[in-house]
Structure formats: C-alpha cells, structure tokens
A and B are shown apart, each in its own frame.
Chain A
Amino acid sequence: MRSTLTIFRKEMLGYFNSAIAYIFFTLFLILLSFLFFRIYFLQGIVSMNDFFSVMPWVFLIFVPAVTMKSWAEERKSGTMEVLLTMPALDTELVIGKFLAGAAFVGIAILLTLIVPLLVASTGPLDWGTVVASYLGALLLAAAYVAIGNFVSSLTGNQITAFLFTAVILFLLLIIGTEPVYSVFPNVIAEVVRNFSLNYHFQSIGRGVIDSRDLLFYGSVIGLFVYYNVKSLEARNW
C-alpha cells in the first residue's frame, strides 16, 4: 500500500516535471473541442452526444502516449532493477503505475468540463447524461491505461509500446462499430460487440448506469493489471 502511493507520487511527479503534461492537456482539449464544435453549431441541438462519440477515438492517440513510457522506459534505462529490488510486491508497483496513468488521463478529461459549460450557455443541457458520460469516459480511459501499461511492460522501446497499444485499442474499438460486428452471424455479433470498449461507454452515456458496464470495465482493468504483474514476474532480461 505504501509502495503503491510512493510509485503513484513518483509517476505524477514525472508527468508534471516537464512541460509535456501541460502541452498534453492543451492539445487534448483543443482537439476534442475542435472536433465537437465543428459540427455542434451546424446541428442546432443542445447535446453533448457528438462530443462523447469522438472521445474514444481521441483517446486512441493520447492514452498510448501517456502509457508508452511507464515500464518501457524503466526497462531501457535500467531503473527497473532498482525499482524491482525494493521491498515491495510487483502488484503494488503495477497498481501504483496504473492509478497514476488513470489519474493523469482523468485530469485531462475533467479539464474538458469547460465544454459542457459552454454548451449549457447556448441552451438547456441534460446534465444527467453528461455526468454519466463523464463517469463512463473515466472508466474507459482507465481501461485504456491498464492495457497501455501492460503493453509497455512487454518492451523496452517506447515507440513499439505506443504503436502496439494504439493498434490493440483500435481493434477493441472497431469491433463495437456496425460495419465490423455485422460481419459476424447474429449471435456472435452480439458477443463481439459486447467486448468492445466503446459499446459499454455508449451504454453508460445513455444515462443509465448498468452494473454490467461497470463490471466490464472493472474486469478489463483487473485482467490487464494481472497480466502486467505476470509480465514483470517473467523478467528475464
């Protein structure tokens, strides 16, 4: 527990020690707002739906950029050896790094709250679905981070980690889109779609928080945190 907190603080310090964190937040906000407002004023409906539907795709670039460093850098620079010979369990370290990544992306997401505030100034906004969607976005981002950190633990190369994470996340997103899942026969299509990261995000976004959606994200996070621990245990480099 103590180690988890310590590694969490160290990761946060790492993010905010350089200007990259602020550039990241700014770019994330600008890109999302641009993609959203580009169509918002054309439609004339006070709704955040388009905002939340582009979010998973914007994460596709931003989350791997956050997670690529987590283990790959430690491994490349050799600090992994210092870290893993500390009196701490691998699990504590993995959870600490996961929480830090999720918190960092979480801050980026919460900074976009300025967008619904702007939208609300143009007309009546259904805050219920907005709040639910934000909760969904945090869960979605956390799942991305768990996957990204795991991939980062498999390599000593940050670029490899970035690309592989992006590809995996992309696949997990597109299986929730109609052109992809409709290729499969009906029964399987429903299963495939259920494994999409996006599907559950949309479900939460409707304003109903279903325990199945929470369970899904919880399982994805748990599974990849577990894989991450296993990949550290298998160290042989």
Chain B
Amino acid sequence: MTELITVTGVSKSYDRIRAVEGASFTLRKGEILGFLGPNGAGKTTAMKMITGYMPADTGEIRVHGKNIVDDPIAARNAIGYLPENNPLYTDMTVEEYLTFVAEMRGVADPEAAKKRAMERCAIVDVRHRIIGHLSKGYRQRVGLAQAIIHDPEILILDEPANGLDPIQITEIRGLIRDLGREKSVILCSHILSEVEAVASRVIIINQGKIVADDTLENLKERSSGHNIFRIEFLTAKDERAVADTLAKIPGVAAVSRVANDTFRVKTKGERETGNQIFRTAVTQNWDLAQLHLESRSLENTFLSLIEGGNS
C-alpha cells in the first residue's frame, strides 16, 4: 500500500492551548479516511498543518514521502483542500472564481480544467451567477470544484456537509463517494453518520489526541461496540420467558426489561442479529408492536472513546 501522507508526532499549540498533541497517522492511496471528533478536537488544526497553511510546532508531515517544509509547492500541488466553512469570494461569479483558482494552481489548460470541475460538481448552470447569491448547497459544490480543479491526487475536506439540508447532504455525500473512487480523501466531520456513509477507515481524535485509528468493521467490533435494540409488545410479557427465548439467539449479549411491555436487547453488533430477533418474535407468535435499533455499535464506540478521554 502506498502512503500518500505520513504524519509523525505532530503537535500544535495556540498560546497555551494544545490543539493537536503528538498525532501520527497515514493516508493510503485510494482510501477515504474519516477524521472524526467532536468540535474543537483538533481536526481543523491538523488539516491546516497538512495543507501547509500553518507550520507544526513539532513533528513531521510528508506528502509523497517528501517533507512539506522542504518542498511546500509540491505538497500543495498534490492536495486539493476545502477548508472549514467553505470560504469563497462571494462577490465573484462562479466562473471568475474558478478561473482565478485555475490560474493560481497553474493548470496547463485552465478552460478544460474549469469545465471538468464544473461538470463534476454539477454547477455548469450557475457558472455566471455571483457566488454570494447561491444557495448553500451550490456554494459547497463551488468549494469542491475549487478543490478538484487541478485534479489532485489527495482531497482534504473539512466538514463539507456542515450546515446543509438533508437533501444537499445526500448530494454532497454522493459526490464525495464518487470522487473517492479516483482520489484519496481525508474527510473531517464531527458527525458519525457522515463519516460512516463514505469512509473506509476512521481516525477518532479527541482533545488533540488520536484515540482510535481503524477500519469501520474493527471499530464496530470493539468491546464496547454493541447494538442496542428496543422491543415493544402490545401486551405485558413475562420477563423471564422473553429473556430466555432471546438469549438463545447467537449474538445477543443481554436482555433487560424497561417496562412491562418493553425490553432492551444488547447485541454484539452484527446486522443479522436484528433479523433473528424479528424471526424469533414471529415463531414465538409475539404481539410485536415495535422493534428498532436504539443505539448503534459505532456510535457507542465513538462515545465511549470520547468520554474515556474526557474523564
């Protein structure tokens, strides 16, 4: 596996606040790396250092094996960056802005690069509009077009879906997934589902420290990674009978009663377990009113890692 970005022991402080502390990770070719953490965890600072906006206090960042301090221009050429809050020149038209970026990037054929980026992000029909007049969803796509105009190998997207409505979020996600087929992506987010939807590997950062770096599957299987189902019946049920029946299902870890007609089932986080609970309910002829996933394994892992760090 080729490593595109290697971050080794990087720290950064603002005044006396430690924003990033001894972070080490890699971005490998062809993966979408989710960079997950609560607001203020140090995600943005880490991205600012990788993109060369800010120097690291200590540690080393290599892009394509070359230290970004020694060859900042080469590193910047390899990276497309959508900063947090998607800053744009709001008084320019889409086309003026992309022309500016293409020229700054020094792409060989600015017209073709612009056309490709606009088509890719579906903004051709707004090319003559002033950016400040566009909806947030369109602006986000303009920001993405800016990031891919020089066809970089690496894309760094900092909270790309922030502040979008659900439909726009789905669109942006689709776009990121598409881009991820040909590029290696670091996707920063504080929203788990966003990372889960597109990322192949996840890094969880909390209070400036990396607390987990693993594939989605492995994170789900961590000890605390349980799924919790909530089962509601139409009538009251005997606790023992329900518990004993459910406990026979492989993958069920514990059953507890919430109310006379409601139970909580903790499972080991495999998807089929839910289906098996349902089948059991059918064969037992239970008067099932509701069966739903109350909290999910990855979320639990995420929360326990974050809380563990905070305590």
Contact = CB atoms under 8 A, between A and B. Distances in A.
B48 interface: yes
Interface in A12-71: 13-14, 17-18
A210 B268 CA distance: 86
A10 B53 contact: no
B92 A86 contact: no
Interface residues of A, number: 24
A9 B103 CA distance: 10
Nearest to A235: B54
Contacts of B101: 82, 86
Contacts of B87: 77-82
A133 B103 CA distance: 37
B300 interface: no
Interface string B87-110: 111111000100011011110000
A235 B53 contact: yes
A85 interface: yes
A81 B53 contact: yes
Q: How would you classify the secondary structure of chain A's contact residues: helix, strand, loop or mixed?
A: helix
B229 interface: no
A36 B104 CA distance: 44
Contact of A13 (B52, B77, B88, B92): B92
B11 interface: no
B167 interface: no
A113 interface: no
A212 B101 CA distance: 41
Contacts of A3: 104, 106
B188 to A, nearest CB: 14
A7 B99 CA distance: 11
Nearest to B76: A87
Contacts of B79: 85
A236 B100 CA distance: 25
Contacts, number: 69
Interface string B279-311: 000000000000000000000000000000000
A236 B53 CA distance: 9
Interface string A213-237: 0000000000000000000000110
A88 interface: yes
B81 interface: yes
Interface string A87-121: 11000000000000000000000000000000000
A13 B96 contact: yes
B104 A14 contact: no
A171 interface: no
A10 B100 contact: yes
A177 B208 CA distance: 56
A79 B104 contact: no
Given A14-B91, A17-B91, A78-B87, A87 B105 contact: yes
A81 B105 contact: no
B241 interface: no
Interface in B1-43: 14
B82 to A, nearest CB: 9
B103 A85 contact: no
A222 B165 CA distance: 49
B83 interface: yes
A81 B48 contact: yes
Contacts of B48: 81
Contact of B104 (A13, A18, A80, A86): A86
B154 to A, nearest CB: 12
B227 interface: no
B81 A236 contact: no
A6 B100 contact: yes
Interface string B197-230: 0000000000000000000000000000000000
Nearest to A81: B83
A152 B240 CA distance: 73
Given A13-B92, A236-B54, A86 B85 contact: no
Contact of A87 (B53, B85, B96, B106): B106
Given A3-B104, A6-B103, A6-B104, A84 B91 contact: no
B81 A82 contact: yes
Given A17-B91, A79-B88, A87-B106, A236 B52 contact: no
B255 to A, nearest CB: 51
B62 to A, nearest CB: 17
Contacts of A80: 87
B67 to A, nearest CB: 16
A17 B93 CA distance: 10
Interface of A: 2-3, 6-7, 9-10, 13-14, 17-18, 77-88, 235-236
Given A2-B103, A6-B100, A86-B104, 8 more contacts: A14-B89, A78-B84, A79-B89, A81-B53, A82-B146, A86-B105, A87-B77, A88-B104
- Which are the 7 A-B pairs with shortest beta-carbon distances? A78-B87, A6-B103, A81-B83, A87-B76, A86-B104, A85-B51, A79-B87
26 contacts: A2-B103, A3-B104, A6-B100, A7-B104, A9-B103, A13-B96, A17-B91, A17-B92, A78-B84, A78-B85, A79-B88, A80-B87, A81-B48, A81-B51, A81-B53, A81-B83, A82-B81, A82-B146, A84-B53, A85-B76, A85-B79, A86-B105, A87-B76, A87-B77, A87-B105, A235-B53
